[in-house]
């Protein structure tokens, strides 16, 4: 049985920010698993302060979601996408050129990158949601805003804002989200 105490927790406030080489923002790397140089999945929070191109990552699938701010416009070779802080996460290839333009000021954004595994990321914004997750799924929850609670195996608990919780499930689990604003990540890999 999975208990909330078994989950790893990484608080954003405990992670140092790294300045981008181009000076256009900062990144707080929450997790690079299994190592910072040879990762299979990477989750981070970035602050974008000025317009500019996204870095290219060959062989990487990316998900991007605005957490705070007035949003961004992402220009790809074949499409233009406008994203705000309530919009679903956007999935795209890390090797696709992407130019980012801010909408009236800086944004705080959540990023998921994976290579060699299947993954998905969704925003759950204050809705009641019940998820059924299979054994050996690596599951992560980033809490965007305060409020609401999670229920696993008859345990109900509030989670800390701007914190990432993650675990690889050792059995099938049903998890209820009630009134929470989170980014929910599912990955098929073994840890």
What's the CATH number for 4-10+118-188?
Answer: 2.60.120.10
* Lookup: tokens for 119: 């993954």
The helix/strand/coil state of 152 is: strand
What percent of the chain stands above pLDDT 90? 89
What's the CATH number for 15-114?
Answer: 2.60.120.10
pLDDT tens, residue by residue, 160-183: 999 999 999 999 999 999 999 999
Q: Are 188 and 166 in contact (CB under 8 A)?
A: no
Please state, rounded to an integer, the average pLDDT across all residues of the chain.
Answer: 94
Residue 190 has pLDDT above 60, yes or no: no
Q: Are 124 and 80 in contact (CB under 8 A)?
A: no
* Ranges for all domains in the chain classified under CATH 2.60.120.10: 4-10+118-188, 15-114
Across the range 113-127, mean pLDDT stands at 96
For residue 2, what pLDDT is reported?
A: 67
Cα 114 from Cα 140, distance rounded (Å):
13
Q: Are 176 and 150 in contact (CB under 8 A)?
A: yes
């Amino acid at each position: 049985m999975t208990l909330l105490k078994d989950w790893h927790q990484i608080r954003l406030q405990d992670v140092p920010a790294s300045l981008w080489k181009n000076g256009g923002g900062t990144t707080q790397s929450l997790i690079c698993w299994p190592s910072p140089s040879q990762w299979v999945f990477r989750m981070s929070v970035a602050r974008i302060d000025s317009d500019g191109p996204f870095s290219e990552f060959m062989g990487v699938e990316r998900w991007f979601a605005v957490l705070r701010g007035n949003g961004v416009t992402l220009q790809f070779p074949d499409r233009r996408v406008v994203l705000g802080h309530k919009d679903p996460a956007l999935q795209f290839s890390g090797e696709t050129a992407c130019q980012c333009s801010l909408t009236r000021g800086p944004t705080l954004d959540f990023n998921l990158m994976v290579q060699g595994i299947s993954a998905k990321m969704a925003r759950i914004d204050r809705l009641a949601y019940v998820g059924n997750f299979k054994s050996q799924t690596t599951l992560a929850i980033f809490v965007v805003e305060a409020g609401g609670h999670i229920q696993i195996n008859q345990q109900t608990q509030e989670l800390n804002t701007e914190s990432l919780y993650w675990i690889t499930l050792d059995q099938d689990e049903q998890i209820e989200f009630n009134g929470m604003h989170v980014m929910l990540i599912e990955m098929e890999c073994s840890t």
